[in-house]
Structure 1
Amino acid sequence: MDSKDYVDRSLERALSQATPRALSRTQWREMAVEVSVRLCCALLLSIFAYAAILQWRVAPERLTVLLLALASSLTVGLSLFARIPEKRDWRPLSIVLSVGGTFYFLAIELAPGIRLIPEQVGASLCCAGILWQLFAKASLRRSFGILPANRGIVTRGAYRLVRHPIYLGYFITDIGFLSTNFGWRNLLVYAGLFALQIGRLLREERLLSQDPGYRGYQAIVRYRIIPGVF
């Protein structure tokens, strides 16, 4: 083997070894960002859950406070174990809508408010909303997250009825809590939440509509959240 062949083969071997390391470093950076975001979400959830449990321990009859902590834990907790999607919407507005619509509970007034309906009725609504969320999320399996993303088209279970059944579960739970813990601060928080959720939903559909499979699904399941209404 002459010196030129030796140099050429050495360069070829060096390049083939460098590429995997470069890809590996990129993957490690992405993994570090993903883990950091999920740990931050878990910390915020833990702070809120602790505050909610303290309020409930002071007044154990306030089941809606405990159920709100449970519902929030389901929303954020499941997203911590969601699979990483191939395509995600990282635009600033989508991030604001998603983060605001998910972590709205940090702005809720947990102290006792005005009871527009009995606590038991509000708790029943919260339970119904949580059970529906569980059914919808079980239909999704691990195709669940905070940012709008295409994690695969799901048409089974609750998704046979409406295109965004989890949002319906959120709405029922939120009405149950707000009706038994009413106040101007909570009213403003939930009004903002509903606006954020609608914007989040529409941007999610815009992303998913790029998939021909989802466009076919839209033709079959016409309504987004409430059959016959929206």
Structure 2
Amino acid sequence: MLSLFAYAAVRQWLAAPQRITLLLLFVSVFVTIGLSLFARIPVKRDWRPLAFICSMGGTYYFLAVRLSPGSHLVSESVGATLQLLGIFWQLFAKASLRRSFGILPANRGVVSRGAYRFVRHPMYLGYFITDMGFLLVNFGLQNLLVYSCQFALQVVRIVREEQLLSHDDGYRSYKTRVRFRVIPGVF
């Protein structure tokens, strides 16, 4: 699936090389999927249907994104800047986790260093910033629906993950120190 997406994205980008946001969307997707291949396998994962559907939908949503140009709500450079900030934040969050990164909700150990000092799910913040950068430059009804569904799936995914992690004393203690899940002051 990643190969098909890469082919379509690169074709669109070669036709319009000024569309940096398209190239950065590909980089973001590749980092997420690529790094998940090196994740440590947890003892227990949440394989229940809702968790599985939200995790897969929240990860592979990019297959439904319309890659052809849409309306520009912001300039390409503003969108690309947001995407770069989001990608760098994702990398910081993943480096903070080391190999404790995965797609399905699981307890791979409580991490409270690095990006996890600021919010409990910093990777999702990175995804949100990256996705907003692309959406604002490639706006259209299809992309609005895809990203709205993706954000909803990520919220359910976060809630499911926290339900699983809340059985851990260390995580309950961590939640008292770091109040917000994704966006400080909001959620």
- Normalising by structure 1, we get a TM-score of 0.80
| CA deviations over 1:116-137 (Å, ceiling 9, x no partner) | 1110110010001000001010
Match in the other structure for 2:136: 179
Match in the other structure for 1:194: 151
| CA deviations over 1:56-100 (Å, ceiling 9, x no partner) | 000000000000000001111110111110110010110000000
Match in the other structure for 1:132: 89
RMSD: 0.6
Match in the other structure for 1:65: 22
Match in the other structure for 2:114: 157
The amino acid that maps onto 1:92 is P
In our comparison, the structure showing a higher alpha carbon Rg is 1
Shift of 1:229: 1.3
Asked if 1:87 corresponds to 2:44, the answer is yes
**Structure with more contact order per residue of length (Cα contacts < 8 Å, sep ≥ 6):** 2
Match in the other structure for 1:225: 182
| CA deviations over 1:43-67 (Å, ceiling 9, x no partner) | x112211211111000000000000
Match in the other structure for 2:103: 146
Match in the other structure for 2:7: 50
Instruction: List gaps (5 residues or longer) in structure 2.
Output: none
Q: Distance in 1 between matches of 2:73 and 2:118?
A: 31
Q: What percentage of aligned pairs have identical amino acids? A: 67
Match in the other structure for 1:28: none
Q: Which runs of 4+ in 1 moved over 2 A?
A: none
